[in-house]
Structure 1
């Protein structure tokens, strides 16, 4: 007979086919069953195989979270205990060099998809009186840089959205966290960039796991994770 300790909670991770999303999925597979979402069905399947090997039951949902109707159809009513809004894109270039398509894609993925995904599964959390929404932000959400007019703007939105949502749903037993990484060695950076000093995706996955497994009465709302020094490669420690 199963006991409460045997029951694995369900985590949904967006952008799970690669990079930080894949690392988060693998980390949470140790303690959660998973619903993993992404556009690349083949890479999503590869992530699922690795998570299954780690002990999780995995459901894959190939959907573009920019598409509100498709996302609502795929996710509405699904039982989710932990939501990790990880999907994100960046086009780092001066404003006058940025196309409307590049601008809109960043807003659609980094901002609008937060509504589509969270709106689909949050009502169930509130109804059950428990749950956790974790959003991957960025230190660009509290600073600015040349070439970040859109990307930094979307990450500033994440910070405001996360805190407002936290205040709205905490009395219903739902926590909201935002993880704000510094530079992470992913495909975000152009080929040839020195990433040897940067954080690794697994570091962000550990931060997510820390936030979503905190005691029920404790909320880790904002967690900033940085490389120690851009002058020291990771393997020098």
Structure 2
């Protein structure tokens, strides 16, 4: 996919499961895809599902925490839409958090944004079009006990996204940040009641809305919430 394709190409990080998988399936009808995650086996499964919708799919088994490997794998790819979705969360009091847990969240939620975006954004700017979409969180504008690192990384996402938007909009590149509330994924511990939460497909719909807006229109910040934690989805 190094040459100009007939359909726009979307690259999605963290694409092997959860929200990333849902985004890939949602975009597959109109985009060719580059799917990135550490788990090559799960990526292959997602790729088959996306190909059934008509997408050409390239998979990259890649740890986006590794800056050198990321630059080597992504530099030169033709990508029209970048979805920075990869993320991790460790919810525990600060005094109980290990250095490894802290650094892992910062590496995935913050530093990987640099590695991936730095590799692909120059091509968008050169072509005069493109879209960078980042999956943030409502934790990027609030706080809670046990969220010292996670909410810090999501606050970073909000500042990064808005600053980047102002830098590249005159070059024809849009920057969006999708901020979900609670989503029923593996992020939550086993036994958590997720029946009231958003589904990954809801976030995929929000991404599709943002990245397929008319060229003169930018959906920069889109917050998506469950209607009520007191009402399961099945009650609607």
Partner of 2:84: 85
Partner of 1:216: 215
Give structure 2 stretches of 5+ with no counterpart: none
Partner of 2:176: 177
Partner of 2:109: 110
Is residue 15 from structure 1 mapped to residue 14 from structure 2 by the alignment? yes
Give the SS at the match of 2:12.
strand
Partner of 2:24: 25
Give the SS at the match of 1:176.
strand
Partners of 1:54 and 1:145 lie apart in 2 by 40
Q: Cα deviations across residues 136-181 of structure 1 (Å, max 9, x unaligned)?
A: 0000000000000000000000000000000000000000000000
Partner of 2:98: 99
Output the TM-score relative to the length of structure 1: 0.97
Output the TM-score relative to the length of structure 2: 0.98
TM-fit CA distance, 1:77: 1.2
Give the SS at the match of 2:190.
coil
Give structure 1 stretches of 5+ with no counterpart: 1-5
TM-fit CA distance, 1:7: 2.9
Q: Count residues in correspondence.
A: 232
Partners of 1:63 and 1:190 lie apart in 2 by 25
Partner of 2:205: 206
TM-fit CA distance, 1:56: 0.2
TM-fit CA distance, 1:193: 0.4
Partners of 2:84 and 2:134 lie apart in 1 by 5
1:1-237 maps to which residues of 2 (within 5 A)? 7-237=6-236
Give the SS at the match of 2:105.
helix
Give the SS at the match of 1:178.
strand
Partners of 2:92 and 2:25 lie apart in 1 by 32
Give the SS at the match of 1:150.
helix
Partners of 1:151 and 1:54 lie apart in 2 by 35
Partners of 1:118 and 1:96 lie apart in 2 by 33
Give the SS at the match of 2:148.
coil
Q: Cα deviations across residues 1-43 of structure 1 (Å, max 9, x unaligned)?
A: xxxxx93100000000000000000000011000000000000
Runs of 4+ in 1 over 3 A off after TM superposition: none
Partners of 2:84 and 2:63 lie apart in 1 by 13
Partners of 1:51 and 1:14 lie apart in 2 by 15
Partners of 1:91 and 1:30 lie apart in 2 by 34
Q: Cα deviations across residues 72-96 of structure 1 (Å, max 9, x unaligned)?
A: 0000111000000000000000000
